[in-house]
Chains A and B, each alone.
Chain A
Amino acid sequence: MELIQQLINGVSLGSIYALIALGYTMVYGIVKLINFAHGDVFMVGSFVGFYSITVLDLSFVPALLISMTVCALFGVLIERIAYKPLRNATRIAALITAIGVSLLIEYGFIYVRGAQPEAYPNDVLPADKFNIFGVSINSQSVLIFGVAVVLMIILQIIVHRTKIGKAMRAVSFDADAAKLMGINVDNTISATFAIGSALAGAAGVIFGIYYIKIEPLMGVLPGLKAFVAAVLGGIGIIPGAMVGGLLLGVIEALVSAAGYSLWRDAVAFVVLILILIFLPQGLFGKNKKEKV
C-alpha cells in the first residue's frame, strides 16, 4: 500500500517535470539549443497565475490561460531578443547566452519585487481526500495529472496534425531545406518557443496550486530536473519528455521512500550522468549515424 502511495506522489511531481521538459525538448529539437531560461519562464508563469488569482480575483481556468498566454509572449520575446541574433553563432555562444538570460530573469525579478516568498491561496481548487484501499489520493493531484495529460495530447495533435506542426517537424529535420521549400523558419521557431513557454506557464500555475509557496528562484531546480527528464527520454522527442518526467518523479519519490531523502537531488543528476554515458540518445532516441 505504501508503495502505491509513493508511486502516486511520484507521478504528481513527475507531471510537473514533464510539462517543463516538453518545452526543453521542443526547443532543442528545432534549434539544437538548451534553453536554460526555460525554468525561469516557469517561475514567471507561476507568478502571473498568482497575481491573476489574488489581484484579478480569477478562478483556476482563466488564471491558467492568462499565465500560458503571458508566458508564450515572454518566450517569443526572449527568443527574438537573445537567441535570434545568435542563430548562426557557435553552439557555445548560444548556450552561454541562455545561462545569462536565465540569471537576468531571476535577479531582474528579485530586483523588481524582492526575494520574499509568496503563498498561493489555499482554496483555488478543492483538496478533497479519497481513500481507496488505504491509499489516500488528493483530488488536486488527480487534477494536476489530468491537466498535464490533456496539454500533452493537445501538443501531440498540434505537432502531428496541423500546418505549423508540419513546419516544426520540417525545420527540426533540416532548417535550410525547409527554407528552400518556402517555410518561414523564423516564425516556426517563434511558434515553438511560444508553445513550449505556454506549457511552462501552465506548469507554474499547477506548481503554485499544489505546492503553495512560490519565489523568484523556484525555477532553478525544477528547470534542471526537467532538463534531466528531457535527456532521460531522449532530447528532441516529445513522448520521451513525458515519460522522462514521470519516471524522474517516481525515481525521486522512491529514493525518499527508501529513507534517503537527502540524496534525492543527487540521484536525479546521477541518472543524468549514467544516461549520458550509457544511453546518450535517451530511452526513446534512435541512434542516428551522422552523414559524412
Chain B
Amino acid sequence: MKKKKLASAFLSLTLAAGVLAGCSGSGSSDKSSGDGDTIKIGVNLELSGGVASYGQSIAEGLELATAEINKEGIDGKKIKLIKVDNKSEASEATSGAIKLTSQDQVAAIVGAATSTNSIAQVQIAQDNKVPVISPSGTSPEITFSKDKLNDYIFRTSFIDPFQGTVAANFATKEIKAKSAAIYIDSSSDYSKGLAAAFKEQFEKNGGKIVAEEAYIAKDTDFRSTLTRLKSAKPDFIFLPGYYEEAGLIVKQARETGLDVPFMGGDGWDSPKLVEIAGAKALNNTFITNHYSSGDPDEKIQNFVSAFKAKYKDKSPDAFNALGYDTGYFLADAIKRAGSADSEKIKEALEKTADLELVTGTFTLDEKHNPIKSATILEFKEGKQVFNTKINP
C-alpha cells in the first residue's frame, strides 16, 4: 500500500514537472541537449513486461551502434544514452517520454518497440518539439494519424501494408502465381492490413484472388476451412498471421494435401513456429522480414560479426538489426544537422535519402516512413534461408 502511494506521488510529480517544462520550454530559446562534448539521446523501451524481448533486443542493437559511433564521435561529441523502462505499458511510455524531454532534456528519443507504446509518446514529442524514432512500430498511425502528419515522429521499420505489397510482388514475379487465396486472422489489425495491401497489389499485377477465409486467434482446428481452400485450387496462399496459428495452419494444410506455397509476414518469425508446424511442413513457405542474418551483403555480414563479438556469439535477430539501424539513422541526421539541436535534427531526419543501413537503403517519404527493401526468407528443413531482397 505504502509502495503504491509512493509510486503515485512520484508519478504526479513527474507529470507536474512535465507540464512546467512544457511551459518554460517555449520561452527559453536554448534547450541544452547535452553539455559541450556529449549528445544526450533518450531511450524509451520495453525493458521489462510482456514484450520485453523486443525492447531488450533493440537496446542491444542500439548499444552496439552507439559504441561504434562513439569511437570517432560526431564532430568530436559523444552520444550518451539515457534509458527508461516503459514496462511494456502505454502509460509508462508516456511518463517516460515526459521525464526524458523535461528532466533530461534529450536531443531525441528512440522508442518504443510496439506501435501502441510509440503512439503513447506522440503528443509529448509534438508538444516539446523533440524528435522520436520508433525502431519497430509498424502501424501507419504512429507517424500519420487523423489525416495529419506527426512531424516529429519517425520510424526505422517499414509499415504493415508494405509487407503485403512486397508479398504480392513476390507471388507474381518469383512464384509466378496466377491465383491466390487469403487466410487472415480476423481478430488482428496487423493481419487485415497486410491482407488488404496484398489483395490490391496482387490484383494490380493481374492475379486473381480465388478465396478469402478467416480465423480467430487461439483457434486450433483449421482442417475444414483448409479443405474448402483446397477445392478452390489456388496457386499460392497468403497467411498474414502470428506464429502460433500460422504453424498449426501450415501443418494441417500439408496433412489435408494442400501443398501450394504459403507466405506470411514478420509475425511468423519465432522458433516456436518450427516446433509447432514441423520442419517438413514448412518447406515451400516464405516470409517477408526486415532483414536476414544470412544475407551475403557485406554491410550485413560486418554487422553480424560485430554483434556476435559483443554478445557472446548470439546471432542477431530483426529487432537487434532495427535497434542498430536506428542508432546510425539518428547519428547520420545529427552529423548533417551539425548540431545537437532537436529542431535541426528533425529537419535533417526528414531529408534522409539513400542512407545505406543493415535493414535496407533508406529514403524517407513524406509520411516519415522509410522506403526500403524487404527481405524474403524461405524455410528449408526448419531453417530460415535468405531467398531474395525485394525493392519497393
Contact = CB atoms under 8 A, between A and B. Distances in A.
Interface residues of A, number: 31
A213 B255 contact: no
Interface stretch (A32-40, A80-88, A167-175, A249-257): A249-257
Nearest to A258: B228
A182 interface: no
A281 interface: no
Contacts of A127: 255
B227 A119 contact: no
B215 A261 contact: yes
Contact of A256 (B218, B224, B244, B257): B224
A265 B214 CA distance: 13
Interface string B241-278: 00010011001000111000000000000001001101
Interface in A1-60: 2, 5-6, 9-10, 12-13
A288 to B, nearest CB: 36
Interface string B182-202: 000010000000000000000
A94 B84 CA distance: 49
A221 B256 CA distance: 24
A259 interface: yes
Contact of B220 (A122, A211, A253, A261): A211
Contact of B272 (A13, A117, A122): A117
A262 interface: yes
B228 A9 contact: no
Given A212-B276, A213-B244, A256 B255 contact: no
A136 interface: yes
B255 A261 contact: no
A247 to B, nearest CB: 15
A261 B276 contact: no
Contacts of B186: 262
A118 to B, nearest CB: 8
Nearest to A255: B224
Contacts of A136: 255-257
Nearest to B277: A212
Contacts of A259: 213, 228
Contact of A253 (B213, B224, B248, B257): B224
A138 interface: yes
Interface in B191-233: 213-216, 218, 220-221, 223-225, 227-228, 231
Nearest to B227: A5
A91 interface: no
B276 A213 contact: yes
A255 B225 CA distance: 9
Nearest to B50: A115
Contact of A213 (B215, B220, B223, B227): B220
A211 B221 contact: yes
A42 to B, nearest CB: 13
Interface string A186-228: 0000000000000000000000000111000110010000000
Contact of B216 (A13, A117, A218, A262): A262
A129 interface: yes
Contacts of A218: 220
Given A129-B257, A211-B220, A256 B276 contact: no
A256 B228 contact: yes
A114 to B, nearest CB: 12
Contacts of A221: 218
A261 B272 contact: no
Given A119-B275, A261-B213, A213 B228 contact: no
A131 B255 CA distance: 11
Interface of B: 186, 213-216, 218, 220-221, 223-225, 227-228, 231, 244, 247-248, 251, 255-257, 272, 275-276, 278
Interface of A: 2, 5-6, 9-10, 12-13, 117, 119, 122, 127, 129, 131, 136, 138, 211-213, 217-218, 221, 252-257, 259, 261-262, 265
